[in-house]
C-alpha cells in the first residue's frame, strides 16, 4: 500500500497500486470507474471534452484547476481531489446552477462537449466570485463546441447565480 497512488475521486478514497506510467485519468474514469460523463474527443489535449477538476492542498488552501483528463497521467494525482461532472448534481438529482444556466440559455446542442464546459465553468465559479466576460472566455478557452457557437455558453456563464 505504501507504493500506491492515493487520491479522492468525487467523494471516494482511491488507492491504486501498479499504475502504469502512461495510464491516463480519462481511461481510469471511463473504463475502470464507468464515469462516462467525462468524454473522449480528441484524446490529445485539444478539445476539452474530457475536462475535470483537480484540487490540490497548498498553504492550507484547496485550489482547483481544470485539466484535460486525456493527457493527465494517474501517477500525477497523488494527494489530490479529482472532481468529475457526476459530482455536481445535488443529492435530489437537481442540476448544479452552472448546469441549469446552460439549460436556460440553450448552451448545449449535441451535448458531447457540454460536460467539459460545465466543469470549466464550475472550476471558474469555485475560484472567482462574479467573474467578468474576459475571465469567462479565458476559463473556456480550452473547450471547443461545434454546434451552438459560444455566445449561448458565455451568456449562461454570465447568468449563473449561486
Ligand atoms: Fe480532447 Fe481530452 S479528449 S482534450
Axis crossing angle, helix 151-159 with helix 97-104, rounded to the nearest 10: 130
Select from 42, 67, 117 the residue to mutate for testing ligand 1; criterion: most ligand atoms less than 8 Å from CB: 42
Name the residue of 24, 38, 44 to mutate for ligand 1: max ligand atoms within 8 A of Cβ: 44
The Cα 26–Cα 32 span in angstroms is 10
Last residue within a domain, chosen from 47, 68, 87: 87
Specify if 92 maps to a domain.
no
Task: Specify if 108 maps to a domain.
Answer: yes
Q: Are residues 129 and 150 in the same domain?
A: yes
Q: What is the pLDDT of residue 149?
A: 85
Answer whether 64's CB lies under 8 Å from 83's CB: yes
**Which residues constitute the domain of residue 138?**
97-159
ipTM over 0.95: yes
Q: Could you tell me whether strands 12-16 and 5-9 are parallel, antiparallel, or unpaired per DSSP bridges?
A: antiparallel
The verdict on 79 and 148 lying in the same domain is no
pLDDT 10s digits, 2-58: 579 999 999 999 999 999 999 999 999 999 999 999 999 999 999 999 999 999 999
The domain spanning residue 125 has which CATH number? 1.10.150.120
Which position has the grid cell 500525477? Answer: 76
Q: Does residue 77 share a domain with residue 24?
A: yes
* pLDDT recorded at residue 161: 65
Res. 148 pLDDT band, cuts 50 70 90: confident
Burial of 69 (0-12, 13-18, 19+ CB in 10 A): buried
Q: Which CATH number characterizes residue 47's domain?
A: 3.10.20.30
Alpha-carbon gap, residue 69 to 6, rounded angstroms: 17
Domain boundary among 38, 62, 87: 87
SS3 5: strand
Residue 144 lies inside a defined structural domain of this protein:
yes
Residue where a domain terminates, one of 56, 87, 118: 87
Give 27 or 160, the one with higher predicted confidence.
27
Residue 69 and residue 128 in one domain: no
> Does residue 40's CB lie within 6 angstroms of at least one atom of ligand 1?
yes
Measured in angstroms, how far is the CA atom of residue 18 from the centroid of ligand 1? Answer: 25
50-87, pLDDT tens digit by residue?
Answer: 999 999 999 999 999 999 999 999 999 999 999 999 99
Q: Which atom of ligand 1 is nearest to the CA of 40?
A: 3
> pLDDT (tens digit, 9 = 90+) per residue, 86-112?
999 998 999 999 999 999 999 999 999
Residues 109 and 140 in one domain: yes
| Residue 48: HSE in the Cβ half-sphere, 13 Å Cα cutoff | 19
Residue nearest to atom 4 of ligand 1 (CA): 45
Instruction: Give 39 Cα–ligand 1 centroid separation in angstroms.
Output: 8
Looking at the structure of the chain, the number of domains it has is 2
108-142 pLDDT, tens digit per residue, is 999 999 999 999 999 999 988 889 999 999 999 99
The region that residue 35 occupies, defined by phi over 0 for left and psi between -120 and 50 for alpha, beta otherwise, is: beta
DSSP string, 44-89: SSSS-TTEEEEEEEETTEEEEEEEEGGG-BGGG-TTEEEE-GGGTS
Same domain (yes/no): 116, 80: no
Amino acid at each position: 500500500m505504501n507504493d500506491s497512488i492515493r487520491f479522492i475521486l468525487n467523494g471516494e478514497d482511491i488507492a491504486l497500486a501498479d499504475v502504469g506510467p502512461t495510464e491516463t485519468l480519462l481511461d481510469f474514469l471511463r473504463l475502470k470507474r464507468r464515469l462516462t460523463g467525462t468524454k473522449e474527443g480528441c484524446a490529445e489535449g485539444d478539445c476539452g471534452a474530457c475536462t475535470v477538476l483537480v484540487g490540490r492542498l497548498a498553504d492550507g488552501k484547496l485550489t482547483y484547476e481544470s485539466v484535460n483528463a486525456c493527457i493527465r497521467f494517474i501517477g500525477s494525482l497523488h494527494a489530490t481531489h479529482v472532481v468529475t461532472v457526476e459530482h455536481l448534481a445535488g443529492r435530489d438529482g437537481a442540476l448544479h446552477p452552472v448546469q441549469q444556466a446552460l439549460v436556460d440559455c440553450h448552451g448545449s446542442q449535441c451535448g458531447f462537449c457540454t460536460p467539459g464546459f460545465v466543469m470549466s465553468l464550475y472550476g471558474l465559479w469555485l475560484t472567482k466570485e462574479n467573474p467578468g466576460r474576459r475571465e469567462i472566455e479565458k476559463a473556456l478557452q480550452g473547450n471547443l463546441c461545434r454546434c451552438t457557437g459560444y455566445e449561448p455558453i458565455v451568456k449562461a456563464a454570465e447568468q449563473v447565480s449561486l
